[in-house]
């Protein structure tokens, strides 16, 4: 079974995180949620809109060898924390070096750029593109796959992004079953 690491930092975008976790788990992908050390005294992480999610582990306990993909949700406050967290940045570089899949949605492409793992083509939340300031921004696509780097625009694209990740990690059969079961016929 494919295993995805989803680090959460306070201020994450809840719609993105929950949608991705839900679609991936429906598709047969195991998702492990990690909280940032020092960000909280518990395993509970507060999102940008006041929704709290319980993490499975601390980012300090994560070893890249265990995972097939690292996936970062957006939300500016959470994104800045992910971009400044030494462990997250190290993990992003390890995933790239080991040719594992790296994903981000919304503003989280900023954390990928800071780790120098952002692809030559990517997408992100339109208002974040100037701050990310990286060539290859595709404002016309909901999901962009550039080798092992997968990016998506924002909250409204999270379900379709999750489907693309299922297709990549598990295959077309699972992708089709989740897409039809969730009535996601608007996803390409």
Catalytic residues: 106
Long-range contact list for 116-123, CB < 8 A, 24+ apart? 117/92, 117/93, 117/149, 118/149, 118/151, 119/144, 119/146, 119/147, 119/149, 119/151, 120/146, 121/146, 122/146, 122/149, 122/151, 123/151, 123/152, 123/153
Pairing of strands 44-46, 30-35: unpaired
């Amino acid at each position: 079974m494919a295993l995805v690491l989803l680090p959460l930092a306070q201020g994450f975008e809840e719609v993105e995180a929950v949608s991705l976790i839900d679609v991936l788990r429906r598709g047969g992908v195991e998702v492990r949620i990690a909280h940032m050390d020092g960000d909280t005294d518990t395993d509970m992480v507060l999102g940008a809109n006041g929704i709290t999610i319980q993490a499975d582990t601390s980012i300090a306990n994560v070893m890249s060898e265990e995972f097939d993909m690292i996936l970062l949700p957006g939300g500016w406050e959470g994104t800045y924390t992910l971009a400044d967290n030494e462990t997250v940045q190290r993990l992003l570089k390890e995933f790239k070096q080991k040719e594992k899949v790296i994903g981000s949605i919304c503003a989280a492409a900023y954390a990928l750029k800071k780790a120098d793992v952002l692809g030559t083509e990517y997408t992100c939340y339109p208002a974040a593109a100037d701050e990310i300031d990286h060539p290859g921004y595709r404002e016309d696509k909901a999901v962009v796959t550039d080798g092992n780097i997968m990016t998506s625009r924002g909250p409204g694209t999270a379900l379709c992004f999750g489907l693309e990740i299922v297709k990549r990690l598990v295959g077309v059969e699972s992708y089709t079953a989740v897409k039809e079961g969730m009535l996601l016929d608007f996803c390409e």
